[in-house]
């Protein structure tokens, strides 16, 4: 109920924004559309006469919004015919399009008035609601940012002006949220990625295709190696598959019909064969299973794959590492018997639990099920879907997992158990997933010989833990504010000699740490100690070893921890033991 109330509040704030815009720029803007969203609301405007709306206009827009709020106007719903709606919005092509769509789908058309219907000073928009009763309820709101947005997200359409805002029930909640936004700006992974020299983008390479510098590549590799190390101990085996495949593979899997618009088509100079860059690994993994005759004794077969994947995202939807066109996933596909499913999923859930604890994430699960209103979106028999959805629910309850329902979030071939992690700023991110799939083994006619000699289809379990390494890097960058834990830091220790006189001893400390496998650098610059410390802090190096003449004479180091924590002097061996223990334990 609280979520519904907040949704209605934000939807109402969006209408108040639009009404204020029409008052401030009468006849100069055309309202397109805008919903309430998880973090607030937005509205898209088509501006005319060359007017430019900027964030500097926010104070006067908010002032006008407050006037509307204080007017205590009612929100009133009115059901209208398509003909009446077209008359009401005869000069608005965007509303006409929505009305045409509603009529073709035989949907009820409603409008909401803010103020007395049809009277001066009132406002009306095509809308299904919900809203609060009166404008006076929208007390705590703020406009946040402005951006360009293509109509329907399609770059072939006109660019509109999108204004983002948020609203809460109390000013205290709003202030807390704004503070979090300010902290999020400081932690923006695109900003940190540049400052820490982790990754970049090039117009010549293409949008959505990140280029990793040595440090960024290292972190990405460490994430994958951590998952692979854990998987190997549990009997998972890594495979490698091509980055392109024939269209027939995706036609058989169902991705061609359900996913083709998001796939990159590959054109050959020598063949007319239709091929695509693969957007996921599962279809190719079925062919590894199919390459040999399989017995019930061979199962389960656990295949992992870190190969690159490609999806044709719209330019306007690309966002740093959060959404790219090229990425990898810690994909795993398990081919097993039906009686092995529970044990395999329990093991996957325990691995996931350990990895989430390593990063300090709190989390819950979403049971992503079918959209009951659109059964045509899914492959497979409804009775099988019923069985698997109940089965997934039982698995989570047996494992004591907190979960919530996500109707319409299922993959087209199976429901999903999706992990939603909460970062240091309270934001939620979907990471791992587990899926019980009956559809793909049947579509590819995958079989094994059972104990009684009959041929049976295996169950195919789809599993990822961190998901995309690129997206995980983005989340961790912002979660830790660039200050990665010691085991994940590209440079773990920076040696800072005070003067040239202590350089020889500093070199010996460097070699000692390197022999023990510690990632260490020696600052040989002729800068002041203060500048060296500031540079190491800016680079988010976990430990700094300060070496002056006193330390060199005593064969010790003065240890400083990231965040200006002075740990005093200690021997190199004592420091090395401390660091190695912290690395092995993957301490936060």
**Top-level class of domain 2-183:** alpha beta
Rounded Cα gap, residues 20 and 36, in angstroms: 17
Read off the tokens for 185: 């700006």
pLDDT for the residue 102:
86
pLDDT for the residue 248:
95
Q: Which value, in Å, is the radius of gyration of the alpha carbons in the chain?
A: 29
Rounded Cα gap, residues 525 and 499, in angstroms: 9
**Percent of the chain whose pLDDT exceeds 70:** 99
- pLDDT over threshold 60, residue 340: yes
pLDDT for the residue 103:
87
pLDDT band at 450 (very low <50, low <70, confident <90, very high): very high
pLDDT for the residue 1:
41
User: Looking at residues 171-198, what average pLDDT do you find?
Assistant: 94
- Over the stretch 250-274, which tens digit does the pLDDT of each residue have? 999 999 988 888 999 998 888 889 9
Rounded Cα gap, residues 299 and 302, in angstroms: 9
pLDDT for the residue 208:
93
- Over the stretch 23-32, which tens digit does the pLDDT of each residue have? 999 888 899 9
Contact in structure between 198 and 210 (CB atoms under 8 Å):
no
C-alpha angle 13/17/20, rounded to 5°? 135
C-alpha angle 39/41/46, rounded to 5°? 145
Rounded Cα gap, residues 212 and 204, in angstroms: 15
- pLDDT over threshold 70, residue 471: yes
> DSSP code of 427?
-
Q: Report CA-CA distances (Å) from 576 to 557, 579, 580, 588.
A: 11, 5, 6, 18
- Over the stretch 396-411, which tens digit does the pLDDT of each residue have? 999 999 899 999 999 9
> DSSP code of 414?
S
- pLDDT over threshold 60, residue 588: yes
Q: Report CA-CA distances (Å) from 367 to 126, 403, 434.
A: 33, 7, 10
Rounded Cα gap, residues 577 and 416, in angstroms: 43
Pick the CATH number of 486-585 from 3.40.50.9100, 3.40.50.800, 3.40.50.1390, 3.40.718.10: 3.40.50.800
- Over the stretch 224-260, which tens digit does the pLDDT of each residue have? 999 999 999 999 999 999 999 999 999 999 999 888 8
- Over the stretch 419-434, which tens digit does the pLDDT of each residue have? 999 998 888 999 999 9
Rounded Cα gap, residues 445 and 432, in angstroms: 28
Contact in structure between 260 and 277 (CB atoms under 8 Å):
no
Please give the model's pTM, rounded to 2 decimal places: 0.83
- Whether 2-183 shares its CATH topology with 199-474 is answered no
- Over the stretch 505-524, which tens digit does the pLDDT of each residue have? 999 999 999 999 999 999 99
pLDDT for the residue 373:
86
User: Looking at residues 491-495, what average pLDDT do you find?
Assistant: 97
pLDDT for the residue 2:
54
Higher pLDDT, 286 or 152: 286
**What is the third-level CATH fold of 199-474?**
BirA Bifunctional Protein; domain 2 (3.30.930)
H/E element, 349: helix 341-359
C-alpha angle 184/188/191, rounded to 5°? 145
User: Reduced to 3 DSSP states, what percent helix, strand and coil does the chain have, rounded to the nearest 5?
Assistant: 40, 25, 30
Catalytic residues: 282, 311, 329, 331, 333, 416, 462
User: Looking at residues 493-508, what average pLDDT do you find?
Assistant: 95
**Percent of the chain whose pLDDT exceeds 90:** 77
- pLDDT over threshold 80, residue 415: yes
- pLDDT over threshold 70, residue 326: yes
User: Looking at residues 450-478, what average pLDDT do you find?
Assistant: 94
- pLDDT over threshold 50, residue 144: yes
Average pLDDT over all residues of the chain: 92
Domain ranges in the chain are 2-183, 199-474, 486-585
User: Looking at residues 106-130, what average pLDDT do you find?
Assistant: 83
């Amino acid at each position: 109920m609280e979520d519904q109330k907040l949704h209605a509040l934000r939807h109402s704030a969006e209408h108040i924004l639009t009404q204020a815009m029409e008052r401030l720029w009468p006849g100069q803007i055309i309202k397109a559309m805008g919903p309430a969203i998880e973090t607030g609301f937005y509205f898209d405007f088509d501006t005319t006469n060359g007017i430019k709306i900027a964030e500097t206009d926010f104070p006067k827009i908010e002032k006008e919004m407050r006037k509307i709020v204080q007017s205590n106007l009612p929100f009133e719903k009115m059901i209208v015919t398509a003909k009446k709606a077209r008359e009401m919005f005869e000069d608005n092509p965007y509303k006409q399009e929505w009305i045409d769509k509603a009529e073709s789908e035989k949907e009820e058309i409603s409008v909401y008035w803010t103020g007395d219907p049809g009277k001066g000073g009132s406002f009306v928009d095509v809308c299904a609601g919900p809203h609060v009763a009166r404008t006076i309820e929208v007390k705590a709101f703020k406009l946040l940012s402005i951006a360009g947005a293509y109509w329907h997200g399609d770059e072939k359409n006109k660019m509109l002006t999108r204004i983002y805002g948020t609203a809460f029930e109390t000013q205290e909640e709003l202030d807390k949220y704004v503070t979090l936004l300010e902290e999020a700006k400081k932690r923006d992974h695109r900003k940190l990625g540049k400052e820490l020299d982790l990754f970049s983008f090039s117009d010549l390479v293409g949008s959505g295709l990140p280029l990793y510098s040595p440090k960024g590549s290292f972190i990405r590799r460490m994430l994958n190696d951590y998952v692979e190390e854990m998987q190997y101990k549990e009997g998972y085996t890594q495979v490698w598959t091509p980055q392109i495949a024939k269209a027939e593979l995706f036609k058989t899997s169902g991705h061609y019909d359900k996913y083709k618009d998001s796939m990159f088509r590959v054109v050959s100079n020598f063949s007319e064969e239709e091929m695509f860059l693969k957007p996921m690994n599962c279809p190719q993994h079925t062919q590894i299973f199919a390459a040999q005759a399989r017995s019930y004794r061979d199962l389960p077969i656990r295949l992992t794959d870190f190969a690159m994947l490609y999806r044709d995202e719209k330019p306007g939807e690309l966002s740093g590492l959060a959404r790219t066109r090229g990425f990898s996933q810690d994909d795993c596909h398990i081919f097993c018997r039906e009686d092995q499913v529970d044990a395999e999923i329990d093991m996957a859930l325990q691995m996931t639990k350990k990895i989430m604890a390593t990063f300090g994430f709190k989390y819950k699960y979403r049971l992503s099920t079918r959209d009951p209103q659109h059964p045509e979106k899914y492959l497979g028999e409804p009775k099988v879907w019923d069985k698997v959805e109940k089965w997934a629910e039982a698995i989570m309850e047996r494992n004591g997992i907190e979960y919530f329902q996500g109707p319409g979030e299922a993959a087209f071939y199976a429901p999903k158990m999706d992990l939603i992690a909460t970062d240091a700023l309270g934001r939620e991110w979907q990471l791992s997933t587990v899926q019980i799939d009956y559809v793909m083994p049947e579509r590819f006619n995958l079989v094994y010989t059972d104990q009684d000699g009959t041929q049976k289809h295996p169950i195919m379990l789809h599993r990822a833990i961190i998901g995309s390494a690129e997206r995980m890097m983005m989340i961790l960058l912002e979660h830790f504010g660039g200050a990665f834990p010691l085991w994940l830091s590209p440079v773990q220790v920076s040696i800072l000699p005070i003067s040239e006189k202590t350089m020889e001893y500093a070199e010996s400390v460097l070699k000692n740490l390197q022999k023990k496998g510690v990632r260490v650098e020696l600052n040989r610059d002729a800068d002041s100690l203060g500048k060296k410390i500031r540079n190491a802090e800016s680079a988010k190096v976990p430990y700094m070893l300060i070496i002056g003449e006193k330390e060199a004479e005593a064969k010790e180091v003065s240890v400083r921890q990231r965040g200006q924590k002075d740990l005093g002097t200690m021997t190199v061996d004592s420091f090395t033991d401390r660091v190695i223990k912290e690395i092995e334990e993957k301490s936060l």
